[in-house]
Amino acid sequence: MDLCLEYGCSSLNKYGEELCGDQVELCQNDDWTTLVLADGLGSGVKASILSTLTAKLLCKMIANDIDIIDCIETIIQTLPVCKVRRLAYSTFSVIHVNRQGEGCLFEFDNPQAIWYHDGHCLDFARDEMIIRGKKVYKSTLQLQKNDLVIVMSDGTVHAGVGKILNFGWTRPQIMEHLERTIRPEMSARAVACMLASACNDLYLDKPGDDTTVAAIRIREPLHVNIMVGPPVDRESDDFYVSSFLEGDGKKVVCGGTTAQIVARHLGKTLETSFDFPDKDVPPIGFIEGIDLATEGVLTMRRLLELSDRYLSISDLSAKTFPRKDGASQLANILFEEATSIQFFIGQSVNKAHQGLEIDTTMKLKLVEHLAANLRAMGKKVTLYYD
């Protein structure tokens, strides 16, 4: 079975700090994905610099096929030690896994990672190693479809200390919360954001420590074809639509004229909804055999806004889109469900836009900006122009 990996993270800055003392770095190299979460000692600029150096160096070295033990030894040997607290200036968790779910997990002084499997939160078997006098724990990963590996900084287990909770949010309590709230369809990014948001609630919106959650999920791939605008040459409509309809996965059409062309090619009727779940987003349409049909530029504008917010690691709004307007439905397909996306971009001038502040260049810029955001989410994106 072909599987793939998705990832996501979310961070809270310590209250009053402009910079986060935690850092998440991710590298993908052929079949392998490496994720590093580093937590700098303390908070502010110093913690941010040290965690950033730790995460970037570890990730790059491991991604370049340097032995992981050698990489960790180099980092531990390089990091200074606080003379007062006798602690390393940065702790870290490393996930190194391929698309079949095989790999390893290394942890140095961060809270123990959580393995979500078949609706339950479990502990990994851990082997203790002494590297340069420091305890490092190694776990072997054999992940199955829909498994999650969740790593975190210690701001999660400190959440609520002296406020809602006397002694913070214990790891067993975090595991119970995840078992109650994770749904099978949730992406790694949605899970990370959900847990960070719960921590923020316990901190009463004033985090007492930098708090970061990162997750990797192994899942089946989903390919999405999305057609935006008709081709310049009307004679090529059928060829263009045939290319769009090829292959498995979901099919999405954006634009009224485009939807009419697709409906005509399929020999189906285009029906339009009269519901306005969002007054700023035009209603969707329905074509038998097409998963979603939306209006064009206005819907794409809203979708781009949603993608900017979705990408922000400090935005704690839910990463799922239950609303029924076209932009929200399209966001759910592209951000949460899709792993690879092909855009079929027609460059014909739309007569309906004459006299309006909408042109082909604007549409192309919207699509290209959206494609860049989708790539930043870890999607494989291809653009075809006609």
Contact in structure between 215 and 188 (CB atoms under 8 Å):
yes
- pTM recorded for the entire structure: 0.90
Specify the pLDDT at position 160.
Answer: 82
Query: Which residues of the chain have a pLDDT value below 70?
Result: 1, 80-88, 164-166, 349-360
Give 36's DSSP letter. E
The whole-angstrom separation of Cα 130 and Cα 342 is 48
The whole-angstrom separation of Cα 100 and Cα 170 is 32
Specify the pLDDT at position 352.
Answer: 55
Comma-separated ranges of CATH 3.60.40.10 domains in the chain: 4-219
Q: Which CATH architecture has domain 4-219?
A: 4-Layer Sandwich (3.60)
Specify the pLDDT at position 132.
Answer: 87
Tell how strand 340-345 and strand 380-385 pair up: parallel
Specify the pLDDT at position 165.
Answer: 67
The whole-angstrom separation of Cα 165 and Cα 32 is 40
129 class by beta-carbon count within 10 Å (0-12 exposed, 13-18 middle, 19+ buried): middle
